[in-house]
């Protein structure tokens, strides 16, 4: 009886411990986001570059030199692109309050015209003159009540709110710039040290740690996971880069202002499936309204990008990645929500690569196969 009683109590206790462990992991991920975000980003970049460092090592080039050369080759185009985008990005950030004021002014004019049309006085039927005794009471009071105007309400509430939000967003971006620069610098350091010292640490771990029993299988498994992850990250990065390039070229042909800026923006946002395309369309719609005004031409940038994005997401990406690299759309949306809640915008950008990494690792380990099937279900 004692054994069965302890066993019956052990079940609920185990479930409670699992729930507490899950909550502890979520709390840790939330608190350690300033450390984990650079680590995850650095790990993804190191996965891309580590095969090149290994090839250079085979031709007797030291890891330090090859890693430094790859870092320079990686930073040069992004630095050049950043210099090209700095001026238009700064101009748009400074123009946000003015843009919000102009758009809200147009909205106010449209709403005022609609209110004037709906508030036109309606001709009231003439009252028959009556010499009734009761006409001496009440009529004057009703007329006076009709002449009393309601108290004035606040005007331009929507306009003031939009202006305030645009100013707050600009201040938030500027205030977070030092932290962003510090995280970028930390990422560069992490990437360099992972490329130089990561393989040595991994070999020591596989060879000397007793937790690894089948060392040969562990090496083959890790190399296979690394190859699949590298292939996925490289493929997605190339597709997004081509999407941004095509958008910038078409925008330049259509004489849309700051075409390179919008191309870089949509390429970055496309790392977020579904929601990234919607966000890009919304931003391009505002850009079109600013450049062309509230006319039908304002929909041109968003419409052109939507056509390119549909071509990429429905035809090119599925054909290139194949079914083995596909994810369930509902799982993606739920995972994006969780990552955004934990880590903000950067977490949303890293969410899908992290989810794909977990799926590839679990699939190669042969663990939790039911979860892998759930993630892949279409």
DSSP string covering 21-59: HHHHHHHHHHHTHHHHHHHHHHHHHHHHHHHHHHHHHHT
Give the Cα separation of 336 and 30 in Å (integer): 15
Taking only the tens place, the pLDDT of each residue in 157-172 is 555 555 555 555 555 5
Helix 63-118 and helix 157-208: axis angle, to 10°? Answer: 160
Residue 292 has what pLDDT? 79
Residue 328 in 3-state DSSP?
Answer: coil
Give the Cα separation of 149 and 166 in Å (integer): 35
- Phi and psi of 214, rounded to 5°? -95, 90
Asked if the model's pLDDT at residue 343 lies above 80, the reply is yes
- Phi and psi of 145, rounded to 5°? -65, -35
Give the Cα separation of 138 and 145 in Å (integer): 10
How many other β-carbons are positioned within 10 Å of the β-carbon of residue 2?
A: 6
CB neighbour class for 287 (10 Å; exposed up to 12, middle 13-18, buried from 19): buried
Q: Please indicate whether residue 308 or residue 147 has the higher confidence score (pLDDT).
A: 308
Give the Cα separation of 114 and 357 in Å (integer): 53
Residue 59 has what pLDDT? 87
Residue 251 has, within 13 A of its CA and on its CB side, a CA count of 29
pLDDT range class, residue 246, cuts 50, 70, 90: very high
Asked if the model's pLDDT at residue 125 lies above 70, the reply is no
Average pLDDT over residues 20-39: 85
Asked if the model's pLDDT at residue 351 lies above 50, the reply is yes
Residue 249 has what pLDDT? 92
Residue closest to 37 by CA, chosen among 176, 173, 186: 186
Compute CA distances 3 → 9, 12, 223, 250, 356, whole Å. Answer: 10, 15, 46, 74, 43
Widest distance between CA atoms in the chain: 116
Residue 15 has, within 13 A of its CA and on its CB side, a CA count of 5
Residue 125 in 3-state DSSP?
Answer: coil
Asked if the model's pLDDT at residue 6 lies above 50, the reply is no
Taking only the tens place, the pLDDT of each residue in 259-280 is 888 888 898 888 888 788 888 8
Give the Cα separation of 364 and 354 in Å (integer): 15
Helix 2-31 and helix 33-58: axis angle, to 10°? Answer: 80
- pTM over 0.85? The answer is no
Residue 326 in 3-state DSSP?
Answer: coil
Asked if the model's pLDDT at residue 3 lies above 50, the reply is no
Taking only the tens place, the pLDDT of each residue in 248-258 is 999 899 888 88
Give the Cα separation of 339 and 33 in Å (integer): 11
């Amino acid at each position: 009886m004692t054994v069965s009683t302890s066993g019956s109590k052990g079940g609920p206790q185990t479930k409670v411990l699992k729930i507490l462990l899950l909550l502890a992991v979520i709390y840790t991920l939330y608190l350690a986001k300033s450390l984990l975000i650079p680590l995850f980003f650095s790990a993804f970049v190191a996965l891309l570059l580590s095969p090149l460092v290994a090839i250079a090592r085979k031709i007797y080039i030291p890891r330090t030199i090859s890693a430094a050369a790859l870092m320079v080759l990686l930073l040069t185009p992004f630095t050049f692109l950043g210099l090209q985008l700095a001026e238009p990005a700064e101009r748009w950030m400074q123009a946000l309050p003015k843009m919000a004021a102009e758009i809200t002014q147009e909205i106010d004019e449209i709403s005022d015209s609609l209110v004037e049309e709906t508030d036109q006085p309606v001709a009231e039927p003439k009252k028959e003159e009556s010499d009734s005794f009761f006409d001496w009471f009440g009529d004057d009071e009703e007329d006076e009540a009709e002449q009393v105007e309601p108290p004035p309400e606040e005007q331009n509430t929507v306009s003031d709110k939009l202006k305030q939000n645009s100013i707050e967003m600009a201040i938030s971006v500027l205030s977070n710039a030092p932290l962003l620069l510090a995280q970028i610098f930390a990422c560069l350091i992490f990437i360099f040290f992972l490329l130089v010292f990561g393989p040595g640490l991994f070999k020591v771990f596989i060879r000397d740690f007793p937790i690894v029993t089948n060392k040969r299988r562990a090496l083959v498994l890790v190399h296979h996971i690394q190859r699949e992850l590298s292939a996925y990250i490289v493929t997605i990065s190339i597709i997004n880069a081509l999407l941004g390039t095509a958008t910038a070229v078409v925008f330049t042909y259509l004489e849309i202002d700051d075409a390179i800026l919008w191309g870089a923006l949509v390429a970055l946002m496309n790392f977020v499936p579904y929601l990234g395309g919607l966000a890009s369309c919304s931003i391009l719609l505002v850009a079109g309204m600013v450049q062309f005004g509230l006319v039908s031409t304002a929909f041109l940038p968003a419409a052109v990008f939507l056509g390119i994005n549909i071509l990429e997401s429905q035809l090119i990406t599925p054909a290139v990645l194949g079914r083995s690299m596909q994810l369930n759309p509902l799982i993606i949306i739920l995972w994006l929500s969780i990552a955004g809640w934990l880590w903000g915008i950067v977490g949303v950008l890293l969410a899908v690569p992290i989810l794909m990494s977990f799926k590839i690792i679990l699939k190669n380990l042969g663990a939790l196969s039911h979860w892998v099937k759930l993630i892949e279900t279409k």
